[in-house]
Amino acid sequence: MKPDTKFLNYIMKQKNWWLPFMVIFVISIVGILFIAYQTYEEAPPIPHYVDEKGEEIITQEQILRGQEVFHRYALMEYGSMFGDGALRGPDFTAQALNERAKSMFRFYQESLKENGSRSEFESEGILRKVQKEIKENTYDENNNQVNISFAQVAAIRDLEGFYQEMFLNPDFHEAFKPTGYISDPTEIKDLSAFFFWGSWVCSVERPGEKYSYTHNWPYDEFAGNVATPSTLIWSIVGLLGLVLGLGIVLYYYGQFEQLSEEYYAKGASEMVTEEKLQQYKPTPTQRATFKFFYVAVILFLIQVLAGVLTVHDFVGFTKFFGWDIQEVLPVTISRSWHVQLSLFWISACWVGISFFILPLLAKSEPKGQLFLINLLFGIFFVMVGGSFVGIFMGPMGMLGDYSRWLGHQGWEFVELGRLYQYFLLAIFALWAIIVYRGVKNTLRPGMPWGLPNWLVYSIVCILLLLLSGFVARPETNFVIADFWRWMVVHMWVEAFFEVFTTIIVGYMMVMMGLVNRQAVVKVVYIAALLFLGSGLLGISHNFYWNAKPVGTLALGSVFSTLQVVPLILLTLEAWRMQRMPYLLSTKQKERHRSSLFAMPGVFLFIIGVTFWNFFGAGVFGLIINLPIANYYEHGTYLTVNHGHAALMGVYGNLSIAAILFALRFLLKPEAWNTQLVKTAFWSINIGLLLMVTLDLFPAGIHQLVAVMEEGYWFARSQEFIQSVPFQAMTWLRIVGGAVFCIGGLFPLTWFVLKSAKHLKPAYEMEKIDHHLEEVEEEIETV
């Protein structure tokens, strides 16, 4: 049967690319605006709580003060709200809901006991009454008040006592360590009010509906929270959409199979060989990028060590030689470093590699380019140093009212103080300017789809999305503020970072002489269509349980499951690309040219990117993204499993590939250590795989079972975290961690730091213009 080539012929012509791109872009933007509108219009109120006598028990101002305390002490790095945050401690919304239900149950039991009446049937009746009261929405929009019963007033008082015990009593079963981390009883009282509000949002029925603002999340049968029909129905629809979408995309992708490896290789330059690298002369700006990689690998080391400290806190192994690290570095700080530094070192690599390739794309360097690159590095250095110190000083109470600006903002993934966030904005703006200046003379009128254009587009979008992080203020409703946080985090990670990853991998493949630029441009275009088409609206899977209406749940169920489609396609492309070195080396032998490919180690890390893109981001993401699965899984170790496998597996491998790619050109040949690079690759990736298989995934499954059997509150309690099975699996992480660090991280760090002594000298552009022309003839201007 003759294959249908209409689509193939259509997509091969760049003049036809605008229509599919604009359709997907417009649909995505309209969808995001819809979610934003619903976020503001349907957000749960922050009311005053008034008892049956009309007395104010909790005020709106008290809740907002409690929200500020939550952020000031970085408690999102210990526990979570609405399932978003860290997993060392409880989910405070789930914990408060369960404690509230138990307290109300005790209140009515005591009332019956006083009347001398108590039976099994009466206890069942009490439970139904408690559940009914918890679900009943008595909110009055006119005066912004909620009327609550005396039983709920008693629950509020008990909740205040519970959190006083948590932060002040070291022997309490849910004690926060170190004791006295928050020592002001008034602050704890305000914090308790904030947690009570969170539990109210999770339990009270949304006006006009039979489920809570959070679709009855978290699961707590005792409090009356069970999965809704919508959660199951939209899961089925999402799965159906995945099967249909994958079938359609793979059908059309099958037409591209007509494009053999020869198509991708046709017109590609000769592979990068040892001889070429020996002859290569770096420019001043290329040599200046080394400091980005130097700092990046140091930050990588510190980030991993901060993670080791965080895990030690999980197992209670914090005392060394009579000195308790926990007293000096609480888990809120070590985890903040672990999360924030991961973004910093990866960003440093991406900025460095984008600067490094600029001279390979243009025949000259703009005047002042070296100064701008050094200026950006200076700002980056100040931002990293300042935020590192501030993240420690803020939660420790050393900065007072300036903590939000110079210390810790209290948001996971956006830990750095607001002042340093402005520094980051300046860095990204300068990044975009430098890249644009570097590729300006390669941009051709009427050719908007070239690789240099894509590079500029992705960086500008990363910059624009950071602006979302400046919208929320300390007094902003937590639900609304969290929307803007995810507008930064999700859009970066699951949309534009993925496009940027494809672009950088494409650049490196072209420069290594493995593929031609036209083929890479097509791959980038298809990837951009699919990532933006699924990734932008896929943001809604972060809002399943964050007090959004059912429309957001529907969008998330469909588009978040579709996010696996581009990852599968990239995996298929990777299978094709991994054969390219062998194919091209054979051809070069036939042409009596050198066939010794000089970058096998770099290529290994690129293959690692594609493996974890499919396995970590795709498979581990898919199993937790359907609403019915996420309802029970959200905020468990399965989320941590997905996060580690995707972040380190994809962006970590890409960043290391970028470091090594640049070093291969910058280092004197005799300083390169092929065996160390290969050993580092296998150690890092096998170590990560062992951490996943021995701890994160099985611990996540164990925790999921606990959620379904006992309730979400229990699976996040200290009773569960300190249980033998969970602790045993946490200790097993040391196996993968040891392989990761000893065989990979430590040697890689030593190699990069040692490389500072073996860099090639820089050559001024005017002295090597003829050299660049020769290189560009072979590599091609991308």
Q: What is the pLDDT of residues 755-773, one digit of tens each?
A: 999 999 988 765 544 444 4
Going by pLDDT thresholds of 50, 70 and 90, the confidence category of residue 586 is low
Buried b (16+ CB within 10 A) or exposed e, 103-130: bbbbbbeeeeeeeeeeeeeeeeebbeeb
Q: Which residues contact 395 (CB under 8 A, 6 or more apart)?
A: 72, 73, 74, 330, 332, 333, 336, 403, 407, 408
CA–CA–CA angle 661, 300, 423 (5° rounding): 95
Indicate the DSSP class of residue 410.
E
What average pLDDT does range 447-476 have in this prediction?
92
- In this predicted structure, the answer to whether residue 299 has a pLDDT above a threshold of 70 is yes
Per cent of the chain over pLDDT 90 is 69
- In this predicted structure, the answer to whether residue 449 has a pLDDT above a threshold of 50 is yes
Neighbours of 575 (CB within 10 A): 11
Going by pLDDT thresholds of 50, 70 and 90, the confidence category of residue 510 is confident
Report d(CA 571, CA 566) in Å as an integer: 9
The closest of 97, 167, 93, 20 to 533, measured between CA atoms, is 20
pTM, two decimals, is 0.93
Q: What is the pLDDT of residues 187-198, one digit of tens each?
A: 999 999 999 999
Q: Which residues contact 625 (CB under 8 A, 6 or more apart)?
A: 238, 541, 556, 560, 561, 563
The closest of 278, 262, 279 to 584, measured between CA atoms, is 262
Indicate the DSSP class of residue 617.
I
- In this predicted structure, the answer to whether residue 260 has a pLDDT above a threshold of 60 is no
Looking at residue 445, its pLDDT comes to 82
Report d(CA 633, CA 115) in Å as an integer: 43
Q: Is 206 strand, coil or helix?
A: coil
Q: What is the pLDDT of residues 103-149, one digit of tens each?
A: 999 999 988 877 666 666 677 889 999 999 999 999 999 999 999 99
Looking at residue 774, its pLDDT comes to 47
- Which two three-digit tokens encode residue 487? 């507008």
The CA distances from residue 750 to 345, 742, 745, 753, 754, in Å, are: 16, 11, 9, 5, 6
Q: Is 80 strand, coil or helix?
A: strand
What average pLDDT does range 260-279 have in this prediction?
65
The answer to which of 61-70, 450-459, 688-697 has the lowest mean pLDDT is 450-459
Looking at residue 580, its pLDDT comes to 58
- Which span out of 358-367, 470-479, 492-501, 572-581 was modeled with the highest average pLDDT? 470-479
Indicate the DSSP class of residue 760.
P
597 φ, ψ (degrees, to nearest 5): -65, 125
Yes or no: say if 700 and 634 are a contact pair by the CB < 8 Å rule.
Answer: no
Report d(CA 737, CA 740) in Å as an integer: 5
CA–CA–CA angle 646, 647, 652 (5° rounding): 115
The answer to which of 2-6, 385-389, 524-528 has the lowest mean pLDDT is 2-6
The closest of 546, 532, 404 to 483, measured between CA atoms, is 546
Neighbours of 355 (CB within 10 A): 25
Q: What is the pLDDT of residues 144-166, one digit of tens each?
A: 999 999 999 999 999 999 999 99
Question: Which amino acid would we find at residue 201?
Answer: V
Yes or no: say if 551 and 622 are a contact pair by the CB < 8 Å rule.
Answer: no
CA–CA–CA angle 326, 688, 661 (5° rounding): 110
- In this predicted structure, the answer to whether residue 59 has a pLDDT above a threshold of 70 is yes
Looking at residue 566, its pLDDT comes to 79
Q: Is 394 strand, coil or helix?
A: coil
What average pLDDT does range 35-55 have in this prediction?
96
Yes or no: say if 186 and 223 are a contact pair by the CB < 8 Å rule.
Answer: no
Report d(CA 699, CA 703) in Å as an integer: 6
For the four alpha carbons of 132, 134, 137 and 139, in that order, the dihedral sign comes to positive
Looking at residue 502, its pLDDT comes to 83
Q: Is 227 strand, coil or helix?
A: coil
Looking at residue 507, its pLDDT comes to 81
Q: What is the pLDDT of residues 705-743, one digit of tens each?
A: 999 999 999 999 999 999 999 999 999 999 999 999 999
What average pLDDT does range 79-105 have in this prediction?
98
- Which two three-digit tokens encode residue 313? 């806190």
What average pLDDT does range 634-648 have in this prediction?
96
Question: Which amino acid would we find at residue 182?
Answer: I
Mean pLDDT of the chain: 89
- Establish whether the linkage from the previous residue to 178 is cis, with ω within 30° of 0: yes
Q: What is the pLDDT of residues 326-348, one digit of tens each?
A: 899 999 999 999 999 999 999 99
- In this predicted structure, the answer to whether residue 704 has a pLDDT above a threshold of 90 is yes
Yes or no: say if 387 and 420 are a contact pair by the CB < 8 Å rule.
Answer: yes
Yes or no: say if 346 and 304 are a contact pair by the CB < 8 Å rule.
Answer: no
Element (DSSP H or E) covering residue 48: strand 48-50
What average pLDDT does range 498-527 have in this prediction?
79
- In this predicted structure, the answer to whether residue 213 has a pLDDT above a threshold of 70 is yes
CA–CA–CA angle 547, 405, 167 (5° rounding): 65
Looking at residue 374, its pLDDT comes to 98
Going by pLDDT thresholds of 50, 70 and 90, the confidence category of residue 663 is very high
Looking at residue 499, its pLDDT comes to 83
Report d(CA 87, CA 384) in Å as an integer: 25
- In this predicted structure, the answer to whether residue 58 has a pLDDT above a threshold of 50 is yes
Looking at residue 5, its pLDDT comes to 61
